[in-house]
Each structure stands twice: as structure tokens, then as C-alpha cells.
Chains A and B, each alone.
Chain A
Amino acid sequence: MADALLRLESARTGYGPNDVLHGVSLTVREGEIVTLLGGNGAGKTTTLGVLSGIVGLRQGKVVWEGRDISGQATADRLRQGLVLCPEARRIFARLTVEENLIAGTWVRDPKLNKAKLEKTWERFPILGQRRKQLGGTLSGGEQQMLAIARALMGEPKLLMLDEPSLGLAPLIVEQIFRILVEINAAGTPVLLVEQNAHQALKIAHRAYVLATGEIVREGTGSELLASDEVRRAYLGED
């Protein structure tokens, strides 16, 4: 088995007097797609916040390629390839598609931008057609593609995504998940936070289930897909 690329060890954090995460641990290895499932308020977004450095830890640590990076700022983590594509896409509505992508390269060598943009237009032809359009004028699906493409511009060694399927039509969701599989096949591990458990489990190698700030289950994608408990709780099946 490959080495752990990222390890979250007994993470405890919160926003007010109360903790949101009560000792969450998870691992992502090279080559994997790992999904983190859970309902509203389970702590999924907070977990990604801890990993990307926008939420501080009260206890526990973040270990990246064997080194403790708990104290590092977001920009330093980005430089090492830990890239988050956040919830609700957060496209810069009044920057053009191309400018949004360039914003994603802030910590990288700008000399590579031209080649990276060419690659993006190849992978997402629709973004190429709309390169001079303002981000806010794109459809939801196009904005999600732009958000993923912007994250890729940051040259991720691990791509973390927060609910990329949110608010999108089923056909578009399938397309987005296909893109994630392609990105993974091209060598980038993916940590995927989702409420759309069915789709996520189908593409994930491994999965964690988070409930009220604790990991309550973990297993391979197919194990969890077959588990009665998970089916009942997250797939809306009896």
C-alpha cells in the first residue's frame, strides 16, 4: 500500500465555546479518491477548513508527506500542493474566466500560465469558448468546471473538493464526477466531501462517514455502498 500523503490526526476544533469536530482522523494516500460523507452540520466543511488552513486546530495535527503542517498558513500549504476547491464554487463573478484561472496560479510561477491555460481549454472546451466572459455569467455547471479548473491551475498534489455537485442537474453532476475520475486517473489524489453519497461512493476508493463531528464509519466505496446502515442514513433507501 502506498504511503499516506495526508493524515488528519484526532482533529478537534470549533467556532465558539463548542467543538464542531471531536477528534476526527482520516488518511489520503497517493492515487486515491477518498470521500467524506455526512449530513448537514456534520463537520465536513470544517474538516476541509482545517486541512486547508483557514480553520485553526484546538487539538490534533495535520500531517502532509510525513511533516506536521498544522501551523502553516493556507498559502504555504498551497505551495506544497494542498489545494481546496471550496463550497458553493466561489467564482470571482466580475473577473473573466481567464482571470479566474490566473487567480488560481497566485502561488505558482506565472511563466507556466500560458501552457496551463492551453491545457485547460483542451480539457474544458466550454471554458475556452467563454474565456473572456465574466465568471458570473456562466451557468452553474460551467462555474463548477471553472472552480475545478482554477484549483488545477494551482498544481495540486491533492485536490480537495467541497460538494461539487451542490445545486447542479443530475446530468451535469455525472459530468463533474467523470472529470474527477479523469483527474484522479491522471495521477492526482482527490478528497471529496459530498452529500450526494451514492455518486461519491461509486467513484471513491475509500470513504469515511462523519456524523456530529466524529467519524462513525469507514471502508471502501463498495463496502459502504453495500452497507444497510449507510443506505438508510445517506441514500434515502429503506
Chain B
Amino acid sequence: MQTPPNPDSGALLFSQMLEILINGLARGSVYALVALGYTMVYGILGMINFAHGEIFMIGMFAAVFALGAMGSAGLVAVGITLPLAILLAMALSAGFGVMNERIAYRKLRGAHLLAPLTSAIGMSIVLQNFVMLSVTKGKVDFPRAVAQPLANTTWSLGPVQLTALQAVIFATTFALMCGLFWLVQRTRLGIALRAVAQDRTMASLCGMKVDRLIAFAFALGSALAAAAGAMVAMYQGVLRFDSGYMIGLKAFTAAILGGIGNIPGAVLGGLIIGLTEDLTSYTIKSEWKQTTAFAILILVLWLRPRGLLGERVADKV
């Protein structure tokens, strides 16, 4: 006996794909924001900042505390408090990023590669413990009064729903990425950052303050990570002192996948990892999402050791 063709199956598949696309891109754009920080620091110093996930985590907490403080001060309009909280988180994390560079990197700039790597891992442990001891060992909730209305407001995009929360994530990440590209590609400051990345001696012969520009790159990357942290905190609803670990690892993977040191590569890598994870959750099981994400990384590095958009390692961004 023949099964009658299901008239809905085509539409169902299409709507599922759209859903995966939206969720995957929302997740991926957050990875991308964090990956930009890894890739910028690598581009300018040739080093991996292993404390970057913790900077992201500090951004999460900063946003939650800022919202809490504004809430208890009677400021509740989400349209004002949320952007303000994100900005505050970005500023605080930028400060931590600069401090991180100052303490864990500057003195070791001429040293063997393993030295700053070790000090960055040390910094990561210090920051995690700092938050664990000074804030809490347990979980902290993102203020429901802020996240709930955004999660409950939905728009129909054809057959699927887009929540206001996702829209906020898309709009914020898109705006921040455009801002970063504009800064790096179109301004004098961007030229100076790229000049320092390529030839520090010549940059200082042009009168550039190399130390300050490197610190600025850390501040920029940290601010982006904090914005991502605020949004992940909102999306997940809970946060902990070790919340930066997994995202940091995945964003690092995204940066490698896209070609470390390459700014568009970090964005591409982030989106691919995000989409892969959601695709896996839908088609296989959500427990497998990390396996497939890292399997893709291994596959790409096997076929293209410099990453998707990576250039020769010697020519950093």
C-alpha cells in the first residue's frame, strides 16, 4: 500500500529550517562577537587570550547587576535600562581587558609563546575565583522582569516565530560588528591598529604609541565580549562564575575555524558553529551539538589548516 503524500511535509521542513536558521544565527552571532576578541588580540600580538571567556563572564554579571541596580532605583523601562546595562557591562569589561593586558601580557611580549599562554590561563583562573568568592558560588538569575517581556513578544516570520529577544540579539550584534568593521577599515585609528599588528617598530617610527594601541585592542575585544555576555545572560536566564568557559572555548574554535587573525573570518566561524549546533540539536540530539561543532573544526583544519578565511600566518591582520 502506498502512503499518501503528506501535504504538510514540505512546509514543515521549510519552517523547521527557518527555525534552525534563526536560532542558529542568534547563537552564532554571539559566538562571533566573542570570537572577534580572540582574533583581534591574536592579530595584534600573535597570542591567544585565554582569559577572554572570563571577560565575557564578567560582562554577564555586570549587566545583571546594572539591571538590578536600576530596577531597585525605580528605573524599569526596558528600552532604556537594557541598552544602558549593556553599555555599562562593555565599559567594565573593557577595563578588565586592559588590566588583563597590563598584568598578564605586557611584560611577556618578547618572551617565549608559552609564557603569556600560561599567564593568561592564570588570569582566567584568578578572574573566575574572584567572581566566585566576591559574588557567589551558585547561580544568579537574570532579572525576569527584563527578559520575560522580550521573550514573550513574538513576531511571525512566515511559518516561524521571532522573539523580541532574538531581534535584540541580531540588532545589537549586527550594529557592533558594523561598528567594528568601520573602525578597523575606515578610520585612522583602524589604520594604526593594523599598522601595529603588522610592524610594531615601523608603527612607533610613525609616532604611534604601540602600548596604548595594543591596550585599546584588548579593550575593544573585551567590550564586544561583554555585550555578548549580557545577551547570553538574558537568553539563558541564569549565569555562574564559570559561564564563560564553554562559550570562550567555542568562540575560540570559531576564530580558528574562520582563520585566526581575520576579522570577517571570526564572524563566519561564529555563525557556522552556531548553525551547526542548532542543526545538530534538531536532527540528532542536543547532547551531540558540541561533538559536531568540534568535528567541523577538526575537518576544516585538516583540509585548510589556516582556517576558512585565514592567510599565511606571518601576515596577521
Contacts and interface: CB of A to CB of B under 8 A. Distances in A.
A92 B206 CA distance: 11
B216 to A, nearest CB: 14
Contacts of A136: 315
Interface residues of B, number: 18
A75 B207 CA distance: 4
- The residue in A75, A93, A103, A136 that gathers the most chain B C-beta atoms within 10 A of its C-beta is A103
B141 interface: no
B204 interface: yes
A154 interface: yes
Chain B: interface secondary structure?
helix
Contact of A95 (B194, B201, B204, B208): B194
A123 interface: no
Interface of B: 188, 191-192, 194-195, 198-199, 201-209, 315, 317
Contacts, number: 60
B198 A106 contact: no
| Best-surrounded residue of B192, B206, B208 (most CB of chain A within 10 A) | B206
Given A103-B206, A106-B208, A136-B315, 6 more contacts: A54-B205, A75-B204, A93-B198, A94-B194, A106-B188, A150-B206
Nearest to A74: B204
Interface stretch (A62-70, A78-86, A196-204, A212-220): A78-86
A144 interface: no
Contact of A93 (B188, B205, B209, B315): B315
Contact of A103 (B191, B201, B317): B191
A79 to B, nearest CB: 7
B205 A95 contact: no
B205 A79 contact: no
Contacts of A75: 204, 207-209
A61 to B, nearest CB: 21
Contact of B203 (A84, A93, A103, A154): A103
A86 B188 contact: no
A230 interface: no
